[in-house]
Amino acid sequence: MVRHPRHPRFTLHLAAGLLAAFTTMGVNAQNAAQSGTAPNKVLRIGYQKSGLLAVLKAQGSLDEKLKPLGYSIKWFEFPAGPQLLEALNANSVDFGYTGAPPPVFAQAGGVGFVYVGAEPSGRHAEAILVRSDSPLRNVTDLKGKRVALQKGSSSNYLLLEALKKAGLHYEDIRPVYLAPADARAAFESGSVDAWVIWDPYYASAQQALKARTLADYTELNAPYNFYEATRDFAQQHPDVIGAILGQLRTAGLWVNQHPAETAALIAPKVGLDEKLVETWVRRYPYGTTAVTDEIARSQQVVADAFYGAHLIPQKISVKDNVWQNRDVDAALAAR
């Protein structure tokens, strides 16, 4: 085959065309960035079935809030807080929500995260459960018994405090560490004597298994729940953190006034019965806030309790992991 040499004019025209194309692409990208429609960056959020993040996901309200900042969202569901914070440590998610104990265990384990916001927790949103025919009638009866729970979860602290109030030590019971689904199976089969769990698993066990509540936070000091982010993400993107917390605050105030509508919205998304969802929605007094000094001190009490029970290897200082941003704090306080 005879190859024909390219004509110099063709080469010049091709080069000019490519230059014009790349120039146009650059102008379009710049205009897109200025108009807020730049190619999306991805925010990775870890959530659980309960909590306001599940509400924001169902609403799509956070997606709209973050579009002007150039972000789309990828949502990742976790069965419990410890698994979520493991993902945060692996840099698989940027932001998440857990109960009070998971970040204590995470900090003790060297996970690089910061507390960025807090939520009050409900006194009746988690409990120590026994089967309806169980002979156990109070927390004292748990001595020597097998108790299923997710280690490092919010229920771990409930159990610790309930035992303390009953005059027992953690060593007096036989903890069986299981994720929620496995713990439910063990509870149903009778291979454990009690189960410590939070909503919506708690509400589900009440409804489907007719489980009996042995204790909840009624006579105990309930800790806060927390929003966490990787330290790098919070420092580099305070505007995104502020937008998320602001939307959470707005959503929480709405949910408090519209529990039935909230249940109707999220029940199909989480695959649970609407009445069951409404039960646990009504148990939470939503109100996103900054992590104040008072909240940090209350979380230090949780950390010290786990250290005192030899459940974490070292004493930690909670305030070292509290993210400080005055603009975000002021924005939350003003809502």
Question: DSSP per residue over 176-245, as a string?
Answer: EE--HHHHHHHHHHTSSSEEEEETTHHHHHHHHS-PEEEE-STTS-PPPEEEEEEHHHHHH-HHHHHHHH
Fold of 126-215: D-Maltodextrin-Binding Protein; domain 2 (3.40.190)
- Which residue has 């695959």 as its token pair? 271
What residues have CB less than 8 Å from 264, skipping those under 6 apart?
274
Express each pLDDT in 187-216 by its tens digit. Answer: 999 999 999 999 999 999 999 999 999 999
The half-sphere exposure of 34 on its side-chain side, counting CA atoms within 13 A, is 6
The one-letter amino acid code at 237 reads H
Residue 82's Cβ-count burial label (10 Å; 0-12, 13-18, 19+) is buried
Residue 104 contacts residue 322 (beta carbons within 8 Å): no
Cβ count within 10 A of residue 138 = 11
Task: Name the band, by pLDDT with cuts 50, 70 and 90, for residue 19.
Answer: very low
pLDDT score at 3: 40
Mean pLDDT of 122-147: 96
pLDDT score at 236: 94
Express each pLDDT in 23-50 by its tens digit. Answer: 333 434 444 444 445 548 999 999 998 8
Residue 78 has pLDDT above 70, yes or no: yes
pLDDT score at 270: 79
Look at residues 180, 195, 101, 191 and name the one whose alpha carbon lies nearest to residue 142: 195
pLDDT score at 6: 41
Residue 20 has pLDDT above 50, yes or no: no
Residue 94 has pLDDT above 70, yes or no: yes
Q: What are phi and psi of 38, to 5 degrees?
A: -65, 160
Q: Which of 16-30, 207-221, 233-247, 307-321 has the lowest mean pLDDT?
A: 16-30
Cβ count within 10 A of residue 135 = 8
| Calpha distance 268→58 (Å, rounded) | 9
Select from 3.40.190.10, 3.40.50.2300, 3.40.50.720, 3.40.50.300 the CATH code of 41-120+224-334.
3.40.190.10
Residue 251 contacts residue 55 (beta carbons within 8 Å): yes
Domain 41-120+224-334 and domain 126-215, same fold? Reply is yes
Q: In what order do the strands lie in the sheet with 194-198?
A: 174-177, 146-149, 194-198, 126-130, 212-215
Give residue limits of the domains in the chain.
41-120+224-334, 126-215
